[in-house]
Amino acid sequence: MTWEDNVRRAVPYVAGEQPQRSGMIKLNTNECPYPPAPGVKAALQELDWEALRLYPNTDAAELAEALADYYGIAPEQVFVGVGSDDVLAMSFLTFFHSGRPILFPDVTYSFYDVWANLFGIPYKLCALDEEWHIRPEDYMAVNGGVIFPNPNAPTGVAESLDTVERIVRANQDVVVIVDEAYVDFGAESALPLLKKYENLLVVQTFSKSRGMAGMRIGFAMGSPKLIGYLKNVKFSFNSYTMNYPSQKAGVAAVKDEAYFRLVTQKIMDTRKRAKEEFRRLGFAFPDSMANFLFVTHERIPAGELFAALRKADIYVRHWDKPRISDYLRVTIGTDAEMDRLFAFLRDYLSSN
């Protein structure tokens, strides 16, 4: 026996490529094309750098309070983590502990099965319908918990609050997690349901709509009991996860609602234009409520387009997976970036 026989073998999640060349167009990881709120810059520049010698607040209390304030809930209903991936990983570890299979869509965020495998949580995939919608009845079976993004990724399709509530209501013996990473671009949040359901966890992030992927801030909102269990696991893992600069920068971002509205509206406007343009070029797509579009072309296979775009230094996302291999996920960039994308596509499609 060697030491390697005693090691956990994990098959990691593969994130989108992160090349950073000037001139390239990066539409592959759903980042915000605009910088964070100006207050974030000020918060970082005025940071009491000598205070870095001290451990940060374990609960990121100031940030949790700012979020509670903004969303009209109590601070003990907020949990913050190092990006929503940290929050979701902790939630899997905390809430999906029954031994029964958890349920999530067959086409969804590809980290869910990675976490389930890492923690030995059994799971069952529920197929989306032909229009990429959740079939609520699939989530009525006995299960160990439910998770789905709303809007879903990589489709961008949003479910109504009514659909979400049907699923939460039918599963009050387990925890239902609604992953709202993309909710700020026109979808309905499940937040109002927190008043009625103790078993609901709503997870959001600063990485998309607040333009702060580099800062790593995610958060969850739920009943004080639910958040309490999550904190106990978090504090069994790492007392101090969110560093001092993130706590300060996070607060500054939350406090600038006008900038937040401006940026999300700009992205929705560009998405509208992009839809028209894609349609003109022979692409089809489900109606997206996220900061990306999930497009398929009537003639050219997605794999071929992906490769051609990559050669032109335009990065989008493509998965060689069942049901979605003929689609590209294209992040909504600035208008100028989208113009360059469409100029390339027009040219490519006219000569291929």
Nearest to 199 by CA among 220, 182, 177, 216: 177
Residues between 160 and 179 with contacts to a copy of itself, criterion CB under 8 A:
172-175
Min dist. Cβ of residue 299 to a copy of itself (A) = 33
188-227 in b/e burial notation, b at 16+ Cβ within 10 A?
Answer: bbbbebbeebebbbbbbbbbbbbbbbebbbbbbbbbeebb
Phi–psi pair at 172, nearest 5 degrees: -75, -5
Binding to a copy of itself by residue 265, rule CB under 8 A? no
Min dist. Cβ of residue 278 to a copy of itself (A) = 24
Among 47, 268, 300, 312, the residue binding a copy of itself under the rule CB under 8 A is 47
Cis peptide leading into residue 136 (ω within 30°) = no
Binding to a copy of itself by residue 5, rule CB under 8 A? yes
Q: Mask of contacts with a copy of itself, 126-145, x by CB under 8 A?
A: ------------------xx
> Between β-strands 25-26 and 314-315, what pairing exists: parallel, antiparallel or unpaired?
parallel
Binding to a copy of itself by residue 236, rule CB under 8 A? yes
Candidates 81-89, 275-283, 285-293, 342-350; binding stretch for a copy of itself (CB under 8 A)? 81-89
* DSSP class of 7: S
Separation between Cα atoms, residue 226 and residue 56, nearest integer Å:
24
Nearest to 71 by CA among 176, 180, 177, 161: 180
Binding to a copy of itself by residue 229, rule CB under 8 A? yes
Binding to a copy of itself by residue 317, rule CB under 8 A? no
Binding to a copy of itself by residue 322, rule CB under 8 A? no
Among 150, 189, 204, 207, the residue binding a copy of itself under the rule CB under 8 A is 207
List, in sequence order, the alpha helices (H) in 74-128: 83-95, 112-119
Binding to a copy of itself by residue 36, rule CB under 8 A? yes
Among 60, 63, 66, 93, the residue binding a copy of itself under the rule CB under 8 A is 93
Residue 126's DSSP bridge partners are 105
User: Are the C-beta atoms of residues 294 and 329 closer than 8 Å to each other?
Assistant: yes
> Between β-strands 283-284 and 292-297, what pairing exists: parallel, antiparallel or unpaired?
antiparallel
Binding to a copy of itself by residue 70, rule CB under 8 A? no
Min dist. Cβ of residue 291 to a copy of itself (A) = 12
Structure tokens, 76: 């003990």
Binding to a copy of itself by residue 49, rule CB under 8 A? yes
- C-beta closer to a copy of itself: residue 96 or 123: 96
